Chain A
């Protein structure tokens, strides 16, 4: 088999070289395969021929390039570009067919890779470290800077009503939060690990997961509707390919807002064009990425069965309540 391969590779040499030496080269390869038997000698022979191909082939093409010795082909007028015929052989259609097939295969492979991006694979030894998506989730769970300041003021005024809100690191403004119209206590959001086999990151493969955190602000003057009270809490869901975190919040005016934090967009965020929760159904739409989420909350209020729809694709995305 190897003999046939190396004989076939002689076709890579220039045609005028093959005209003179192809038969001899073919015979040389056959005689070497005939004489050099045994595992070691056969392996050494194949290595020799590969090295010879790598070194000898460019050298032959470089040193035996044909000279343009034929008369130039004039096109019937002076000062008109002309060309010389370098090879008397007619070009075979095989190179064109092979080139076309290779080009089509490369384009097909490129299209397939572009339409199926590889999943996020954590680096080795990162088992106990936070993944990028978990880092974002951790930042999302920290109270906002405005809320923390207001909270400290509230604690100073009423020490007996001390809450468990951790202090915000001023050097780490997690996200832009619009100033609240009133001083409000901020409930800490603790994102628990996903529970259940369907939402466990390892069970979903090495891909990153996206979580949905729904956070509310308890305002003493805020009169939320029953529907929005039902969704107050923290929710998480798996979305293996999105690598994004969606944060949903309910403002004091009762308006639902959604911000998408993609992991691979260099910190760029997307504000939902539309977000709503009513009749037990959560729905939001992000125009810039043409993504829509629609889900219905279960009777026990612990899960939301929904679907994330992006351009041309639709994925089932269940959300699970992790904290109230």
Chain B
């Protein structure tokens, strides 16, 4: 039985999809972008980051791309990752799901308008 790696979408994977929404990034840049967009709450380690990247690659939500400024061979060559169309849809669906939860929280007066 194939493993359901991204169902439901883990938080780390969702943050990686968001980080790749507007530009292609390599692993370390993804980690920094996630740290920035979560205000330092999430700092991805190598296991979590590349475990999620591998799952996203296998699901076709991101793809590896070559970067024109990087050498094409050697140990220092970085892998850059790009959000695919499917990945964008999944990220949008996850964001809408979270927005729906947010609306409910506001309706129940758990959250006020200060957020978002």
Interface residues of A (CB under 8 A from B): 10, 13, 17, 20-21, 23-25, 27-29, 31-32, 48-49, 51-53, 55-57, 59-60, 62-65
Contacts and interface: CB of A to CB of B under 8 A. Distances in A.
A17 B48 CA distance: 12
Contacts of B26: 24
A63 B48 contact: no
Given A24-B78, A27-B28, A28-B28, A52 B50 contact: no
A52 B47 CA distance: 6
A63 B55 contact: yes
12 contacts: A21-B46, A27-B76, A28-B28, A28-B49, A29-B46, A48-B43, A49-B45, A52-B47, A56-B47, A59-B51, A62-B3, A64-B51
A29 B75 CA distance: 15
Interface string B1-23: 00101000000000000000000
A52 B46 contact: yes
Interface string B28-51: 100100000000000111111111
A96 B47 CA distance: 25
A10 B46 contact: yes
A59 B50 CA distance: 11
Given A23-B75, A28-B27, A17 B50 contact: yes
A22 to B, nearest CB: 9
A48 B20 CA distance: 22
Given A13-B47, A17-B51, A28-B46, 7 more contacts: A27-B27, A27-B28, A32-B28, A48-B45, A52-B46, A59-B48, A64-B54
Contacts, number: 73
**The 10 residue pairs across chains A and B that have the minimum distance between CB atoms:** A56-B47, A52-B45, A25-B46, A21-B50, A56-B48, A60-B51, A52-B47, A24-B27, A28-B28, A63-B5
Interface of B: 3, 5, 26-28, 31, 43-51, 53-55, 75-76, 78-79
Contact of B50 (A25, A31, A48, A65): A25
Given A17-B54, A63-B3, A63-B5, A28 B47 contact: no
Nearest to A23: B75
A13 B50 CA distance: 11
A17 B50 CA distance: 9
Contacts of A13: 47
B47 A59 contact: yes
Nearest to A30: B28
Contacts of A53: 45, 47
Contacts of B55: 63-64
B45 A24 contact: no
